[in-house]
């Protein structure tokens, strides 16, 4: 869900510039395949376990369990990277405890991510998987807006066009979702829409703020994940206690958990780490392929698994979103459109 965690700033700083070009070619395909599968399975599984009959787990406990899993996975990956258990924990001690000021910087992003993840569980509980998959791409738009205001970064005309098409495509999907007369089980279009938009805003703010405060840092991406995870577990516990404390005391912390729920949470936890893998071995175009493929596959599976009905309006909206993702990550793609060459004689205007 990826998102879900936006560790891209830390990953960019931790990965050498020539890592993509020097990496084995098969690693691009490998990382792309795994990210696509993670995007598809995490959304479909979470939607499935939130809508099947029977006891349903408490959202805030799933967020906390996800933070615990992600932190443990990051520690294991750090040990693998350092080839030493003792050396890894010494590194952790110096990076997290001795350099407490740097660790504290991750507190605000961790809080924003925790709130975002709770909202994502609300939205996936109230939107069908395909609609959620498309709508959550709004995080690209919100990230761009916060990048302009907080990092003072400039975007080309083509990228702004891509962001407009993205917004337009998601609007079409949401209009179809809210005006549909077809009965949908476990769907609350308004609540789902509000929660997914709020999650996208928090995702954009957290990612950009994280990049701003840690710009130029050479700290390992796994250390950053562990720092975020420490605060994530703290805020996850506080959120669970404050929002669902009474229900947890009455039913139990693991109420409604099945093997499938644990699998869904584990796959969702691995999302941020897979993003790091893709950033290391591929580029934005490959990430665009993964996201686009996940949208298409989610739509196809949803038609069979959740009786999702693909409408003309939804299809057009999804096409706009997919096209905008590619255009935003690689603006010069627009030059392959014949009409552009006619309208814009001076190509510098576009870029």
Quick one: pLDDT at residue 2?
A: 43
Distances (CA, A) of 49 to 43, 240, 254: 10, 19, 14
Quick one: pLDDT at residue 60?
A: 93
Q: Any idea which residue has 């959304």 for tokens?
A: 43
Task: Average pLDDT across each block of 10 residues of the chain; the chain has 351 residues. List them in order.
Answer: 43 44 59 78 86 87 93 91 90 89 89 92 88 87 89 85 89 81 73 92 89 73 88 94 93 93 89 65 63 81 79 87 82 67 53 48
Quick one: pLDDT at residue 184?
A: 67
Q: How far is CA 213 from the centre of its chain?
A: 20
Quick one: pLDDT at residue 40?
A: 84
Query: In sequence order, what are the residues at sequence separation of 6 or more whose Cβ sits closer than 8 angstroms to the Cβ of residue 225?
Result: 7, 10, 70, 71, 74, 272, 273, 276
Quick one: pLDDT at residue 28?
A: 64
Please check whether residue 9 is in contact with residue 266, taking contact to mean a CB–CB distance below 8 angstroms: no
Could you give phi then psi for residue 257, rounded to 5 degrees?
-80, 130
The encoded tokens of residue 297 equal 């596959």
């Amino acid at each position: 869900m990826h998102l879900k965690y936006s560790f891209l700033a830390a990953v960019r700083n931790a990965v050498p510039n020539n890592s993509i070009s020097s990496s084995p070619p098969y690693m691009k395909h490998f990382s792309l395949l795994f990210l696509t599968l993670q995007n598809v399975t995490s959304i479909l599984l979470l939607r499935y376990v939130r809508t099947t009959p029977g006891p349903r787990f408490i959202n805030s406990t799933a967020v906390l369990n996800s933070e615990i899993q992600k932190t443990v996975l990051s520690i294991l990956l750090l040990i693998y990277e350092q080839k030493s258990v003792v050396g890894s924990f010494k590194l952790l001690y110096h990076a997290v405890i001795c350099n407490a000021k740097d660790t504290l910087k991750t507190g605000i992003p961790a809080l924003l991510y925790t709130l975002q993840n709770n909202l994502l569980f609300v939205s996936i509980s109230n939107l069908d998987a395909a609609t959620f998959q498309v709508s959550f791409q709004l995080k690209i738009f919100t990230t761009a807006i916060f990048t302009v205001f907080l990092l003072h970064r400039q975007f080309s005309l083509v990228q702004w066009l891509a962001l407009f098409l993205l917004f337009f495509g998601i609007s079409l999907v949401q209009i179809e979702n809210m005006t549909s007369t077809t009965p949908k089980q476990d769907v609350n279009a308004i609540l789902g829409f509000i929660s997914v938009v709020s999650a996208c805003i928090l995702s954009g703010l957290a990612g950009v703020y994280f990049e701003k405060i840690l710009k130029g840092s050479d700290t390992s991406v796994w250390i950053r994940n562990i720092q975020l995870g420490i605060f994530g577990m703290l805020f996850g516990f506080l959120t669970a206690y404050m929002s669902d404390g009474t229900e947890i005391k009455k039913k139990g912390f693991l109420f409604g958990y099945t093997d499938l729920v644990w699998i869904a949470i584990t796959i969702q936890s691995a999302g941020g780490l897979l993003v790091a893998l893709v950033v290391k071995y591929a580029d934005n175009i490959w990430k665009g392929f993964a996201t686009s493929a996940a949208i298409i596959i989610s739509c196809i599976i949803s038609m069979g698994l959740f009786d999702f009905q693909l409408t003309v309006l939804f299809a057009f909206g999804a096409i706009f979103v997919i096209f905008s993702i590619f255009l935003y990550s690689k603006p010069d793609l627009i030059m392959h459109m014949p009409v552009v060459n006619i309208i814009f004689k001076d190509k510098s205007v576009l870029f």
